[in-house]
Amino acid sequence: MPRDVVARAARAVRREEFLPEAQRGHAREDRPLPIGHAQTASQPTLVAEMTRELELRRESRVLEVGTGSGYQTAILAELAAEVFTIERIPELALAARVRLRRLGYGNIHYRVGDGAAGWPEAAPFEAIIVTAAPTTIPPALVTQLAAGGRMVIPVGVNPDDQTLVKVTKDCDGRVTERPLFGVRFVPLVTK
Ligand code: SAH
């Protein structure tokens, strides 16, 4: 998907809508912002960059792990056919769902739970995006990636040393991992 298509989708989504009252004045700043429950909404340039790496098509079905505010979810919903999003904190999941419904998105499926297990009933996914960092790539997510699909996922043992990794699966099912750049995400919390 070309750069300008992702940029247009990002412009169509107002970040203010996804932030707590006290943070709205900062919506235009390109930095992560707190959304409560010790979680953060990623900075817009990183959201756009990760979205580009997914190489979405209009027909794509996308899995997102870490709904958070729902800001990234909205951008995915602008670009793809269907978005399946998983969040482990019920209050954040509910707030995002109410918000995204109010904004009119009808192509998003919501789940509360551990995203490291993926969403087997809806798999395979042409694209998977993870917005919290595990120490190693959850095998279930690789399994649920479609042949020809892409996953972007931050990986790292500590918050100061994480790498955004792009995982691709070719048509024969061969999996390749490529580091993209350094990032800072909240940890992916698994049971
Ligand atoms: N894309 C979101 C980022 C939110 S921060 C945004 O821009 O708003 C990462 C989110 O991942 C947090 O909401 C956190 O609760 C969630 N998370 C952490 N571990 C998770 C897990 N195992 N499964 C699902 N969600 C998880």
Nearest protein CA to atom 10 of ligand 1, as residue: 66
Amino acid occupying residue 75: I
What percentage of the chain has pLDDT greater than the value 90? Answer: 95
Q: Is the pLDDT of residue 2 over 80?
A: no
**CATH number of the structural domain 3-183:** 3.40.50.150
Contacts of 4 (CB under 8 A, 6+ apart): none
> Given its phi and psi angles, is residue 107 left (phi above 0), alpha (psi -120 to 50 degrees) or beta?
alpha
Cα 119 from Cα 131, distance rounded (Å): 16
Cα 138 from Cα 178, distance rounded (Å): 16
State both tokens at 43: 């900075």
Residue 85 Cβ inside 6 Å of ligand 1? The answer reads: no
Active site residues: 42
66-86 pLDDT, tens digit per residue, is 999 999 999 999 999 999 999
Domain ranges (residues) in the chain = 3-183
Average pLDDT, the chain: 96
Nearest protein CA to atom 7 of ligand 1, as residue: 41
Residue bearing tokens 């969040």: 87
What percentage of the chain has pLDDT greater than the value 70? Answer: 99
* Cis peptide leading into residue 134 (ω within 30°): no
Residue 19 Cβ inside 6 Å of ligand 1? The answer reads: no
Nearest protein CA to atom 16 of ligand 1, as residue: 66
Which of 189, 190, 191 has most ligand 1 atoms within 8 Å of CB, for mutation? 189
* Closest ligand 1 atom, residue 35 Cα: 8
Q: Is the pLDDT of residue 191 over 90?
A: no
Specify the pLDDT at position 27: 97
Cα 129 from Cα 147, distance rounded (Å): 16
24-56 pLDDT, tens digit per residue, is 999 999 999 999 999 999 999 999 999 999 999
149-174 pLDDT, tens digit per residue, is 999 999 998 888 999 999 999 999 99
